[in-house]
Amino acid sequence: MYQRSVELAVGVFMLLGMGALVFLALQVSGLSMDSQKDSYKVYAQFDDLGGLSVRGRVSLAGVTIGKISAISLDRESYSALVEMDIYKEVDNLTTDSVASIQTAGLLGDKYVAISVGADEEFLADGDTIFDTQSALNLEKLIGAFASGQVDI
């Protein structure tokens, strides 16, 4: 009888542990079946990342459509090469889309915002977005403002 209740308690303990893991996975990290969506890769080159980091968001009209999968330096052009995973279902980004680095709020995370153009053709896996805007550099901006060279 004693062994029986011990077994029961251990079983409950195991279930509790598993339940907690499921809770952490689903509720805390927001892991869901569709988060491992199929995606395709698109590249963009920026002069200044301004704090953009891997795993950052890629958004279109404020909706997340992918994430940044890698950042590296392009040795030839001395600019940053950003590799983005864009969800498969968003397959109609035009080839003349503009990628710009933006900030969520004043001090929030950096993310890449994409705005589409009017081209008839769409970006495919491995394509590069040529029209980019680098991060708004707050210090440069203040510096320019102080020396009276404001042109925005």
DSSP 11-43: HHHHHHHHHHHHHIIIIIS---GGGG--EEEEE
* Residues forming a β-bridge with 79: 74
CB of 12 to another protein, least distance (A): 8
Residue 6 within binding range of another protein, rule CB under 8 A: yes
With residue 81 as reference, give the H or E element that holds it: strand 79-87
Alpha helices in 24-137 (DSSP H): none
The distance of closest approach from Cβ of residue 49 to another protein in the complex, given in angstroms and rounded to an integer, is: 15
Q: Is residue 51 at the binding interface for another protein, with CB under 8 A as the rule? A: no
Among 1, 34, 55, 151, binds another protein (CB under 8 A): 55
The two three-digit tokens of residue 117, written as one number: 């153009």
> From the CB of 103, what's the least distance to another protein, in Å?
14
Q: Does 53 bind another protein (CB under 8 A)?
A: yes
Residues within window 96-115 making contact with another protein, judged by CB under 8 A = 105, 107
Q: Does 70 interact with another protein (rule: CB under 8 A)?
A: no
From residue 64, alpha-carbon distances to 13, 70, 108, 122 in Å are 39, 17, 16, 19
Among 37, 47, 51, 54, binds another protein (CB under 8 A): 54
